[in-house]
């Protein structure tokens, strides 16, 4: 992948641990995102899915906060999942007691260590902060609790003091030292050197908890792993305070694919998990969200689609199946003929060369108007094309409509009828009616035609949906013919459907 053997790079530049623990905090830090509040049942369902996918630790909540949090923790703990169930606690005896009361035996405990937190939030000296941390860790350990200790706002704490606090936590019995980048100020190189220095000063495994304020949480977490971190805190879809946390799916896939580290995570469940959490939390994913976004494996441009159809690896870093996602060939103005042909093939629609050219032109025209064409749109356009009469004795040369508040809707239609140009304007109850009246008046100079049926449907939702118009016309000899058209303009779709039907009727009449 890098033009150099990954194992050589790993040996030379990285201090990778054999196994990286995935500590998921979707249900704690993720739930702290504004607007998210999960019920006990929702938390249980997410915890079960996280466990199924293979995360090592699930931070279930903050037991000291409420009886509801404690009840959730107890219920999830009682499920006997493979993952360790962890609760958050301040360095307070009462928080540890709440955790014990929740039947948990793993605590993630924290206290702010930066000057900002000491001076403004805690109003404590350096010694007071350190002593409080030590006392709480000792209390938890004495009660048989495994302790993971976080120096909140570690990345804005004086380095010598930070190491002093971490050493004291280690001596007090903490089993994991966590480095939170509480307001996401780290950059990758600094993350790597910070983890490297803290790791060298301690004997306890290092964990990181990086926030995404500058969009660097996943990159920073990967650098922490390169520097020897044993564990990273992540959340599904990267949800969390403000800009969120490092995202589970991005971190896991990068480790597995770019670093070739086996995590025992079932990556094929990532898309489902992301979708589930998105629906339950109401936090929608941006289409361009890596790994799980709608566009993560979507292709529109002709060059890319051509490459994808030959060999998907040309424009995809991984197979969508690896994360349980699916490939999407989107149609729009960048679409090439091969993409349209491949889709029509999937739909079992066979078109003549002329019909295909017409479908292709319509797709380009719609794309130029800024519309993304869905599969349903393409099917409707192609089916319309299939049902069009090849020999048009009446052709549309021009159409103009006018409608408004205080004027009668009117339409001017110009037709080529048997080689002769004819034009007229008519009014109607609406622009479609006016246009159809104009057509009727032009045609009826030579032939009697009646509109028997008129149906209109929007193919997809939205104000720019394509309109599919289906009509039936009849003549005075009892002949009937259907007509169909699909356009983004309702009047145009109606006019073309009627002309399509009339042309068929003329074929029947003259045969
Ligand atoms: O971001 C943070 O600092 C936290 C703490 C609770 C560790 O989430
Ligand atoms: Zn956090």
Question: For residue 47, with 0-12 CB atoms within 10 Å meaning exposed, 13-18 middle and 19 or more buried, which class applies?
Answer: buried
Give the whole-angstrom CA distance, residue 246 versus residue 211: 6
Q: Is there an atom of ligand 1 within 6 Å of 150 CB?
A: yes
Ligand closest to Cα of 178 equals 1
Q: Closest Cα partner for 77 from 107, 99, 108, 102?
A: 102
Beta-strand relationship, 410-417 and 394-402: antiparallel
Angle, helix 337-346 to helix 353-368, in steps of 10 degrees = 110
| Ligand 1 atom closest to Cα of residue 32 | 8
User: Which one, of 122, 120, 117, 151, lies nearest residue 134 by Cα?
Assistant: 151
Query: Which of 102-141 are b and which e, b meaning 16 or more Cβ less than 10 Å from the residue's Cβ?
Result: bbbbbbbbbbbbbeebbeeebebeeeebbebbbebbebbb
Is 244 touching ligand 1 by the criterion CB < 6 Å? no
Mutational pocket test of ligand 1: of 162, 211, 221, 235, the residue with most ligand atoms within 8 Å of the beta carbon: 211
pLDDT single digits (tens) 115-131: 999 999 999 999 999 99
Q: Which residues are close to ligand 2, an ion, with C-beta < 5 A?
A: 29
* 29 Cβ inside 6 Å of ligand 1: yes
Alpha helices in 90-182 (DSSP H): 93-101, 115-116, 126-142, 159-172
In contact, 336 and 302? CB cutoff 8 Å: yes
Fill in the DSSP letter of residue 239: -
Phi/psi at 85 (5° precision): -105, 125
Q: Residue 25 Cα, ligand 2 centroid: separation in angstroms?
A: 8
pTM, to two decimals: 0.79
205 CA to centre of own chain? 34
In short, whether 181's Cβ falls inside 6 Å of ligand 1 is: no
For the chain, 511 residues long, the average pLDDT of each consecutive 10-residue run is: 68 90 98 93 97 98 97 97 98 98 98 98 98 98 98 98 98 98 98 98 98 98 98 98 97 94 94 97 96 94 87 95 94 85 89 86 86 83 74 86 88 91 93 92 83 85 78 85 85 92 77 55
């Amino acid at each position: 992948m890098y033009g150099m053997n990954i194992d050589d790079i790993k040996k030379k530049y990285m201090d990778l641990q054999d196994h990286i623990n995935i500590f998921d905090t979707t249900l704690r830090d993720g739930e702290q995102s504004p607007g998210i509040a999960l019920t006990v049942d929702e938390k249980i369902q997410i915890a079960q899915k996280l466990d199924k996918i293979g995360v090592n630790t699930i931070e279930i909540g903050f037991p000291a906060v409420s009886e509801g949090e404690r009840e959730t923790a107890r219920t999830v703990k009682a499920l006997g999942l493979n993952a360790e169930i962890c609760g958050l606690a301040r360095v307070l005896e009462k928080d540890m007691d709440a955790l014990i009361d929740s039947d948990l035996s793993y605590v993630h405990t924290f206290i702010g260590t930066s000057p900002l937190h000491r001076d403004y939030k805690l109003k404590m000296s350096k010694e007071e902060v350190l002593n409080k941390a030590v006392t709480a860790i000792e209390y938890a350990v004495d009660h048989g609790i495994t302790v993971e200790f976080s120096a909140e706002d570690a990345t804005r704490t004086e380095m010598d003091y930070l190491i002093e606090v971490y050493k004291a936590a280690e001596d007090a019995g903490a089993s994991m030292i966590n480095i939170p980048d509480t307001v996401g100020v780290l950059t990758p190189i600094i993350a790597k050197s910070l983890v490297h220095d803290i790791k060298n000063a301690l004997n306890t495994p290092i964990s990181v908890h990086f926030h995404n304020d500058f969009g660097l949480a996943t990159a920073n977490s990967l650098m922490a792993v390169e520097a020897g971190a044993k564990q990273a805190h992540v959340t599904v879809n990267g949800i969390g305070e403000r800009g969120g946390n490092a995202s589970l799916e991005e971190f896991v896939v990068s480790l597995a694919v770019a670093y070739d580290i086996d995590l025992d995570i079932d990556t094929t469940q990532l898309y489902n998990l992301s979708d589930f959490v998105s629906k339950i939390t109401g936090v929608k994913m941006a289409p361009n969200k890596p790994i799980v976004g709608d566009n993560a494996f979507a292709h529109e441009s002709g060059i890319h689609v051509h490459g994808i159809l030959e060999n998907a690896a040309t424009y995809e870093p991984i197979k969508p199946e690896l994360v349980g996602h699916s490939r999407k060939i989107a149609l729009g103005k960048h679409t090439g003929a091969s993409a349209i042909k491949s889709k029509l093939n999937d739909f079992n629609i066979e078109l003549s060369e002329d019909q295909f050219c017409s479908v292709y032109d319509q797709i380009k025209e719609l794309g130029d108007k800024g519309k993304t064409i869905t599969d349903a749109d393409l099917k409707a356009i192609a089916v319309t094309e299939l049902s069009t009469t090849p020999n048009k004795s009446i052709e549309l040369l021009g159409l103009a409509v006018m409608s408004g508040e205080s004027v009668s809707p009117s339409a001017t239609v110009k037709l080529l009828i048997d080689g002769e140009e004819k034009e007229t304007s008519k009014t109607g109850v609406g622009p479609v009616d006016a246009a159809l009246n104009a057509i009727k008046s032009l045609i009826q100079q030579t032939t009697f035609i009646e509109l028997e049926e008129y149906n209109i449907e929007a193919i997809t939702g939205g104000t720019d949906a394509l309109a599919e118009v289906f009509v039936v016309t009849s003549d005075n000899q009892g002949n009937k013919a259907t007509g169909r058209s699909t356009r983004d303009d309702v009047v145009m779709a109606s006019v073309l459907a009627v002309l399509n039907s009339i042309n068929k009727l003329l074929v029947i009449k003259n045969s």
